[in-house]
Amino acid sequence: MTPLEKARQRAEIDARTNGCHLNPDISFLNDLLDGLVRNEERYGYPSCPCRLASGKFEFDRDIICPCDYRDPDVAEHGACYCGLYVRKDVFEGKTPLQPVPERRPPEKIERAYGTTAAPVERSVEKPDTGRKEPSDLKMRIYYCKQCGYVCYREEPPYICPICKAKREMFAELTI
Amino acid sequence: MTPLEKARQRAEIDARTNGCHLNPDISFLNDLLDGLVRNEERYGYPSCPCRLASGKFEFDRDIICPCDYRDPDVAEHGACYCGLYVRKDVFEGKTPLQPVPERRPPEKIERAYGTTAAPVERSVEKPDTGRKEPSDLKMRIYYCKQCGYVCYREEPPYICPICKAKREMFAELTI
Amino acid sequence: MTPLEKARQRAEIDARTNGCHLNPDISFLNDLLDGLVRNEERYGYPSCPCRLASGKFEFDRDIICPCDYRDPDVAEHGACYCGLYVRKDVFEGKTPLQPVPERRPPEKIERAYGTTAAPVERSVEKPDTGRKEPSDLKMRIYYCKQCGYVCYREEPPYICPICKAKREMFAELTI
């Protein structure tokens, strides 16, 4: 199995297990999957093909595909930021694919690149101007107050992967 | 997207990711989804449209949709208590929808309302007769001995959301 | 519902929620499900119908169906070791079912039976030759560095059940 086939497989399984679909436009889909493969080769993880990774895992964690924003974007806008994953009605052609606004918070963009605007060049080529280092990141244990799902992250997920509760339903678990 | 459409979407995604289906009777389904929307407005969480919530989150946690009883009820009876979620054979019309007995334990009903019978009025309008306060609730960390899934709840889930092991497969994780 | 029907139901739900399919050969499938039912009766847990269980839960944990090896085997080989769960293209007849090599590590086989070769008789009937006792097992809390999924296991899963990241994406969570 080629890397591209592996990427498609992982994405297909992921879509099925998360109640969404892959973009039905095969050529468009292949371009995105190809971007995932290239990012995995370059960075060691399949970061979003439509966003520029910083190359620092801790800063890119939220944009590794499936990114943190996929589930709320598919639910609200019918597709993820890339258009790789789409909602059932979009998949079936009942709803047109719309541009999806960037949900990634400006502070996450800034700490990754040292600027709120997505950089045109790799951040490593820019002067370092006091932006946060990965060691500043505070990971916490969170649990879903509805179903009890436990995760260890900087922030709770937007949607609970188990019961689909909203982020507000998460609380910190202090042990 | 209207609140009703959002509720349907969440339910659809939830059904797909949990191996069940939404009730194929659209009118019946809409009534249930509408009940979820109204409960979310009233209580701040989408408690079961077929059960009366106490209004205290800690006491209602087990009946927030998808309720704790959905997965075992769909597996055993072909539908959840409401009939919102149904099993594949029921969805396809091969098995008729049957009444589903209440699986919620009497002690959970009692602590929520101060009586084992579902109240006809809101519990806040009844005299308080020594029933448990939320602070009495004991949350614990459990893990599935088969797959390792970790959750923080009063009791383990009936069915492991990851590997589908039974409740008996859970043990307390003491740290 | 008979035990066989219950086993099929659990397997169907499990397949749907994990992005794979049950073997379309009904007779073959029923033999496997029947093996699961018999193992559950014999050992108290539905260990793999194609592998011999030791009868000690801690040593058999990785081969309780769905076994630890199912997801990577379905992804890579198109089917689990038994052929109970298959990939979509195999289910649809586009790819033939191939023999699946044993992914279970030799050390796990050895500690269960005291030999790297699968025994022809139950291990309890063999002399005990210094092999590890369950108390030697070291369970740890792991988390997925991509999505934050937390689990308590001897080793991380091969594939994150939430975001499908590879095992390498897991790290130990020290509290």
**Interface contact A152-C143, CB threshold 8 A:** yes
pLDDT for position A121: 45
Are C49 and C136 in contact by the 8 Å Cβ rule? The answer is: no
Phi and psi based region of residue C119 (left: phi greater than 0; alpha: psi -120 to 50; beta: remaining) = beta
pLDDT for position A131: 53
Residues with Cβ within 8 Å of residue A23, at least 6 apart in sequence? A29, A32, A79, A83, A84, A85, A86, A91, A97
Which of A64, A157, C175, C163 is CA-nearest to residue B162? C163
- Work out the average pLDDT over A5-16: 93
Distance, in Å, from the CA atom of C60 to the CA atom of C43, rounded to the nearest integer, reads 10
CA distance B83 to chain A (A): 18
Residues with Cβ within 8 Å of residue A97, at least 6 apart in sequence? A23, A78, A79, A83, A86, A90
Sheet of strand A140-144: strand arrangement: A150-153, A140-144, A170-172
CA distance C149 to chain A (A): 5
- Work out the average pLDDT over B31-46: 97
Whether residue A118 is predicted with pLDDT greater than 80 in this model: the reply is: no
pLDDT for position A76: 93
Q: Model confidence over B69-94: pLDDT tens digits? A: 999 999 999 999 999 999 999 999 99
More confident residue, A35 or B127: A35
- For residue C141, the SS3 value is strand
- What pTM was estimated for this model as a whole? 0.87
**Interface contact C75-A13, CB threshold 8 A:** yes
**Interface contact C150-A153, CB threshold 8 A:** no
Q: Name the maximum alpha-carbon separation found in chain C.
A: 49
pLDDT for position B113: 87
- Structure-token match 């009936």, residue found: B158
- Mean model confidence pLDDT for chain A: 90
CA distance A18 to chain C (A): 8
In this structure, what token pair is assigned to residue A81? 């930021």
- Chain B adjacent subunits, 3+ CB pairs under 8 A: A, C
Q: Report CA-CA distances (Å) from B69 to A148, B103, B156, C135.
A: 14, 7, 12, 35
More confident residue, B116 or C154: C154
**A140-144 vs A170-172, strand pairing mode:** antiparallel
**Interface contact A75-B9, CB threshold 8 A:** yes
Q: Model confidence over C16-74: pLDDT tens digits? A: 888 899 999 999 999 999 999 999 999 999 999 999 999 999 999 999 999 999 999 99
> How many CB pairs below 8 A link A and B?
54
Q: Name the maximum alpha-carbon separation found in chain B.
A: 49
Amino acid (one-letter) located at C88: K
Confidence of residue C127 (pLDDT cuts 50, 70, 90): very low
DSSP line for A9-60: HHHHHHHHHTT-EE-S-HHHHHHHHHHHHHHHHHHSS-B-TTS---S-HHHH
Whether residue A119 is predicted with pLDDT greater than 80 in this model: the reply is: no
Q: Model confidence over B109-163: pLDDT tens digits? A: 999 987 655 544 444 444 445 555 565 679 999 999 999 999 999 999 999 999 9
Are A103 and A132 in contact by the 8 Å Cβ rule? The answer is: no
pLDDT for position C143: 98
- Work out the average pLDDT over A75-87: 96
Distance, in Å, from the CA atom of A106 to the CA atom of A125, rounded to the nearest integer, reads 20
pLDDT for position B122: 42
Question: What ipTM, to 2 d.p.?
Answer: 0.86
- Chain A adjacent subunits, 3+ CB pairs under 8 A: B, C
- For residue C108, the SS3 value is helix
Give the end-to-end CA distance of chain A in Å, rounded to a whole number.
44
**Interface contact C148-A161, CB threshold 8 A:** no
- Structure-token match 């994953």, residue found: A85
Distance, in Å, from the CA atom of C59 to the CA atom of C53, rounded to the nearest integer, reads 8
**Interface contact C151-B146, CB threshold 8 A:** no
